Amino acid sequence: MSLRLIVFCALMPMLSLTAIAENAPKTPKKQSPFQVIAIADQVGQYLANKPVVIRSKDDVKRLVVGAKGNPVYKPKEALKQELDAVIERSKVDFSKQALVLLPHYEGSISYRVLFQQPELKKGTLKCRISRERPEDGTEEDIAASYCFALIVNRSQINKVEWRVGKHKAAELQIQEKSQKRTDDSTQKALLEALERI
């Protein structure tokens, strides 16, 4: 037997497996239950003065109407346009997802603020920022604002826990309260019906 034939016979199974793998149906990538997205700090500063869950376009409108805005720097309509652009660019699907805004304010720009990688535990997305003091101990008297944003999958995440350092700053329910009330009233009606039997 020639050397070429021996090499061909040895490589044939590997070539077949490669062809099978390339032609195999692609399994869809598992979508992450959350995604951290970029958003301008001014959106949080002037629209969301506290952590907020946006579940629909109507929530965006309500947020803008209730916002303080800044007529000199950025009027409300410009902030709404920025938020709409973020929603469109990030492809938020409000039928399955919610947008969570987590604003943070520092009394001094000297502090270094870091958004830590969120952790998902038993339906709760734990988000935390750490604050680092300047090494030289000096602090500027200029305040700083930040806004962190996440897209969360409503079927996998029930709430978002927001921590600044070790202190719990907020806990946000992802599902609307009216929906929960409906579930509670349905459960109550079911229990009453069972008692009658």
High-pLDDT (> 70) share of the chain, %: 70
Do the domain assignments include residue 12?
A: no
Cβ within 8 Å of residue 98, ≥6 positions away: 53, 54, 55, 151, 152, 154, 174
pLDDT, residue 119, reads 95
CA distance 25 to 164: 45
For the record, the structure tokens of 173 come out as 């329910």
Domain annotation covers residue 5: no
The residue among 83 and 184 whose pLDDT is bigger is: 83
Residue 146 has pLDDT above 80, yes or no: yes
% of the chain exceeding 90 in pLDDT: 39
| pTM given for the model | 0.71
**Range(s) of the domain holding residue 79:** 34-134+141-184
What residues contact 27, with CB distance under 8 A and at least 6 apart?
A: none
Q: Is residue 76 part of a domain?
A: yes
Let me know if residue 27 belongs to a domain: no
Residue type, 190: L
The answer, yes or no, to whether residue 69 has pLDDT greater than 50, is yes
Residue 74 in any domain: the answer is yes
Residues 29-53: what's their mean pLDDT?
82
> Does residue 37 sit in helix, strand or coil?
strand
Answer whether residue 156 is part of any domain: yes
> Does residue 196 lie within any of the structural domains?
no
Residue 124 and residue 157 in contact, taking contact as beta carbons nearer than 8 Å: yes
* Structure confidence at residue 50 (pLDDT): 87
Mean pLDDT: which of 23-27, 47-51, 76-80, 166-170 is highest? 166-170
Residue 42 lies in a domain: yes
* pLDDT for the residue 8: 44
Q: Report the Cα 131 to chain-centroid distance in Å.
A: 21
Say what angle helices 57-66 and 76-90 make with each other, to 10 degrees.
160
Confidence of residue 26 (pLDDT cuts 50, 70, 90): very low
Place 55 in a pLDDT band, splitting at 50, 70 and 90.
Answer: very high
For residue 170, the model assigns a pLDDT of 92
| Domains identified in the chain, total number | 1
pLDDT tens-digit series, residues 77-129: 888 888 899 999 999 999 999 999 999 888 888 888 999 999 999 999 999 99
C-beta of residue 88 within 8 angstroms of C-beta of residue 104:
no
- According to DSSP, the β-strands at 112-115 and 144-153 are unpaired
Cβ contacts of residue 84 below 8 Å, gap of 6+? 60
